[in-house]
């Protein structure tokens, strides 16, 4: 807020206004550079013991909400306004002006797999802060952009990498802190995107009108300090600090024991030497006993040996006890060493099994036709939504009587409809229904509404279609996790999303420039028609999966109805027969 006040009062400085705005925008970049080493030093701080689905988890959810507001909400909320701003500032046509936004969105999705690796290796905290730093750097240095390629590199590539890191980290941290309420947490975090879609269009247009492109980019860079603050709060507790984890057994010495292997070998040698000495003494005593018995055979009955039998038994018992103690120490050391070997062997086996499971999951994802249709549908739908938001404002301004502010208001209304649709999905999350049907309908509705927008001629029609588009988009995103979890297992879900993000990035780098080319050469209307057609194709691509799910539901319902119509005795008899058959099969397999 302080930055906005300085920027607003900067007009009173006259000729110094340019210097003031450059100073303010540079402060955003320098602030990120100054706080970054301090944040790195706090990486080693370990938070208290946390529990899933309660306590500090809700603090994480709040900051994840703010992060979603600042990265995806900012990305799509400012896309249309920045397309026009790029055309006016760099004096280029629609195709080149929208190329910057296409590169930004494409890099954001293409960098998703690398951002996932950063989260896996360095943690959500580091990745979130790194993403905020790149966003502030890309937007802050864009103040000095003079040519088109400056904006492509700074805003398109640098800021796009930052948005990808923040999106991955702020989503992955929810899976760490939430288990039973993960669907609710994901929906509430996504709500931040829709709040951003409602806020950023008006806010960015106000800044562009008031201060111009360069100064507006510097001011908007300061807003991404939210990622630095959110990243600091993203503590990632160790597994033993989370509720539900089990402690390792202390009976076996771990492979990473503090006692060196040389000491273990030395102790083992000493114990073996002690055993040999006791065995030698034991043999000597027995030999002396045998010798005395042989030399004095006649005295055996009267037991006239030099050493009484009681003392001999006592000595023999002591030697046996010493041998048992040394054998016990020897056994413990062997167990300790064997435990270390077993621990190392089990860790190697678990690593090999994890690698084999990962390969098996990846192969199963690649072989599933349902997952491929789901990925292709998501790619086409991403072209529909991103291209629509990129081209919409330019089409409305140049082909209707509405101005930039009215076009931005339409995008804001779309953001309000997004919130309504997301809240509706949250309220109905406990109900049981076929989410594939809802997903198919919402994708188709958005595509048809985008096509219809290309023929809008009045303000009322534009705002009504914006509401329909907002509802379709929010329902699609809110149902995305449920549909994906129905298609694959939990272990396959990250692979599915990583592959989907990769293809989304490829589609954004290829089909979005094609849509801009069509809009720039043949008219903005045909560019929107192209992206709307991609939305309809996305709905058609997921249609076979919907039909297959309906067939499965029909089969399950028929089986359940058939079982419910049977008498109770017949049902019990069938269950007994099925159990006996199952037992016979298991015995035959054994």
Q: At what angle do helices 261-295 and 309-367 cross, to 10 degrees?
A: 150
User: Is the whole-model pTM more than 0.75?
Assistant: no
The residues, any chain, with a CB within 8 Å of residue 111's CB and separated by 6 or more, are: 160, 161, 164, 165, 505
Q: Which two tokens stand for residue 190?
A: 């996504």
Residue 586 falls inside a structural domain: no
Q: Which two tokens stand for residue 149?
A: 């390629």
Alpha helices in 523-567 (DSSP H): 524-565
Give the SS3 label for residue 250. coil
CATH code, domain carrying 194? 1.20.1250.20
Residue 397 falls inside a structural domain: yes
Residue 111 and residue 167 in contact, taking contact as beta carbons nearer than 8 Å: no
Tally of domains within the chain: 1
Residue 454 falls inside a structural domain: yes
Q: Which two tokens stand for residue 105?
A: 């969105």
Rounded CA separation 392/462 (Å): 10
Q: Which two tokens stand for residue 144?
A: 């000095």
Residue 124 and residue 236 in contact, taking contact as beta carbons nearer than 8 Å: yes
Residue 366 and residue 315 in contact, taking contact as beta carbons nearer than 8 Å: no
| pLDDT at 120 (0 to 100) | 79
- 50 - beta bridge partners? 242
Residue 227 and residue 129 in contact, taking contact as beta carbons nearer than 8 Å: yes
Residue 300 and residue 293 in contact, taking contact as beta carbons nearer than 8 Å: yes
Residue carrying structure tokens 């006239």:
304
Residue 6 falls inside a structural domain: no
Q: Select from 217, 214, 169, 220 the least CA-distant residue to 196.
A: 220
The residues, any chain, with a CB within 8 Å of residue 580's CB and separated by 6 or more, are: none
Give the SS3 label for residue 568. helix
Angle, vertex CA 579, rays to CA 577 and CA 582, nearest 5: 110
- 242 - beta bridge partners? 50
Residue 462 and residue 400 in contact, taking contact as beta carbons nearer than 8 Å: yes
Q: Select from 186, 165, 67 the least CA-distant residue to 121.
A: 165
Q: To the nearest 10°, report the CA torsion of 477, 483, 488, 493.
A: 20
Residue carrying structure tokens 């929010």:
474
Q: Which two tokens stand for residue 373?
A: 């249709």
Give mean pLDDT in consecutive 10-residue pieces for the chain, a chain of 590 residues. 42 44 49 47 51 84 92 88 90 84 87 83 90 94 90 93 91 83 80 87 91 91 93 75 44 41 49 50 44 40 42 50 50 48 50 64 82 88 86 85 86 87 77 83 93 88 91 83 74 68 76 82 83 93 91 82 64 52 45
| pLDDT at 292 (0 to 100) | 43
Give the SS3 label for residue 516. helix
Q: Which two tokens stand for residue 377?
A: 């549908």
Residue 511 falls inside a structural domain: yes
Q: Select from 166, 160, 77, 71 the least CA-distant residue to 116.
A: 166
10 Å Cβ neighbour count for 12? 9
Q: What is the CA radius of gyration of the chain?
A: 36
Q: Which two tokens stand for residue 31?
A: 């602030």
Residue 359 falls inside a structural domain: no
Residue 307 falls inside a structural domain: no
10 Å Cβ neighbour count for 352? 10
Side-chain-side CA neighbours of residue 523 (13 Å) = 7
Q: Which two tokens stand for residue 332?
A: 């413990």
Residue 524 falls inside a structural domain: yes
Q: Which two tokens stand for residue 565?
A: 């119509």
Q: Which two tokens stand for residue 159?
A: 């800021």
Residue 215 and residue 4 in contact, taking contact as beta carbons nearer than 8 Å: no
Rounded CA separation 565/343 (Å): 55
Q: Which two tokens stand for residue 197?
A: 């879609």
Residue carrying structure tokens 């003494």:
281
The residues, any chain, with a CB within 8 Å of residue 433's CB and separated by 6 or more, are: none
- 280 - beta bridge partners? none
Cα-Cα end-to-end distance for the chain = 73
Domain that holds residue 167: 24-41+56-237+381-551
Q: Select from 436, 458, 452, 435 the least CA-distant residue to 546.
A: 436
Q: Phi/psi of residue 308, each to 5°?
A: -60, 155
Residue 245 DSSP class: -
Q: At what angle do helices 524-565 and 493-522 cross, to 10 degrees?
A: 150
| pLDDT at 226 (0 to 100) | 92
Q: To the nearest 10°, report the CA torsion of 218, 222, 224, 230.
A: 170
| pLDDT at 38 (0 to 100) | 46
Q: Phi/psi of residue 103, each to 5°?
A: -65, -40
Rounded CA separation 587/580 (Å): 11
């Amino acid at each position: 807020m302080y930055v906005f006040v300085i920027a607003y009062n900067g007009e009173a400085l006259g000729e110094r206004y340019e210097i003031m705005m450059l100073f303010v925008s540079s402060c955003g970049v320098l602030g990120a550079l100054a706080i970054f080493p301090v944040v790195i030093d706090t990486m080693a701080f370990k938070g208290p013991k946390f529990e899933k689905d309660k306590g500090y988890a809700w603090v994480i959810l709040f900051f994840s909400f703010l992060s979603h507001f600042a990265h995806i909400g900012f990305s799509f909320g400012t896309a249309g306004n920045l397309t026009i701003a790029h055309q006016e500032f760099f004096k280029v046509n629609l195709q080149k002006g929208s190329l910057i936004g296409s590169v930004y969105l494409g890099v954001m999705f293409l960098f998703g797999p690398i951002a996932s690796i950063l989260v896996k290796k360095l943690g959500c905290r580091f990745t979130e802060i790194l993403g905020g730093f790149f966003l502030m750097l890309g937007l802050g240095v864009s103040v000095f952009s003079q040519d088109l390629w400056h904006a492509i590199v700074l805003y398109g590539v640098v800021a796009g990498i930052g948005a990808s890191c923040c999106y991955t980290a702020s989503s992955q941290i929810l899976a760490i802190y939430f288990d039973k309420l993960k669907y609710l947490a994901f929906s509430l975090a996504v709500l931040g995107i829709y709040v951003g879609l409602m806020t950023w269009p008006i806010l960015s247009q106000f800044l562009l009108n008031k201060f111009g492109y360069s100064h507006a980019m510097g001011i908007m860079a300061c807003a991404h300090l939210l990622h630095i603050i959110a990243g600091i709060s993203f503590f990632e507790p160790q597994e033993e600090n989370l509720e539900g984890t089990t402690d390792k057994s202390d009976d076996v010495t771990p492979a990473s024991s503090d006692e060196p292997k040389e000491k273990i070998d030395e102790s083992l040698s000493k114990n073996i030497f002690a055993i040999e000495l006791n065995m030698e003494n034991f043999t000597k005593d027995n030999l002396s006993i045998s010798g005395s018995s042989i030399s004095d055979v006649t005295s055996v009955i009267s037991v006239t040996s030099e050493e009484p039998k009681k003392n001999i038994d006592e000595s023999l018992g002591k030697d046996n006890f010493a041998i048992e103690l040394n054998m016990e120490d020897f056994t413990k050391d062997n167990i300790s060493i064997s435990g270390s070997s077993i621990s190392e062997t089990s860790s190697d086996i678990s690593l090999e099994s994890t690698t084999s499971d990962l390969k098996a999951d990846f192969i199963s994802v690649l072989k599933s036709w349902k997952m491929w249709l789901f990925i292709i549908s998501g790619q086409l739908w991403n072209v529909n939504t991103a291209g629509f938001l990129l081209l919409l404002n330019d089409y409305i301004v140049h082909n209707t009587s509405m101005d930039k502010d009215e076009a931005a208001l339409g995008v804001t209304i779309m953001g309000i409809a997004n919130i309504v649709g997301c809240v509706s999905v949250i309220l109905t999350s406990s109900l049981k229904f076929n989410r594939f049907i809802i997903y198919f309908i919402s994708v188709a509705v958005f595509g048809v509404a985008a096509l219809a927008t290309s023929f809008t001629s009045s303000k009322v029609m534009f705002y009504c279609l914006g509401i329909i588009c907002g509802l379709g988009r929010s329902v699609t995103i809110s149902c995305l996790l449920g549909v994906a979890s129905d298609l694959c297992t939990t272990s396959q879900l990250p692979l599915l999303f990583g592959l989907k993000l990769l293809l989304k990035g490829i589609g954004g780098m290829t089909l979005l420039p094609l849509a801009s080319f069509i809009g720039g050469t043949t008219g903005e209307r045909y560019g929107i028609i192209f992206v709307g057609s991609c939305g309809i194709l996305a709905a058609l691509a997921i249609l076979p999966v919907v039909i297959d799910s309906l067939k499965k539901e029909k089969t399950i319902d028929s089986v359940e109805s058939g079982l419910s119509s049977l008498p109770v005795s017949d049902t019990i008899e069938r269950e007994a027969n099925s159990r006996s058959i199952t037992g016979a099969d298991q015995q035959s397999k054994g």
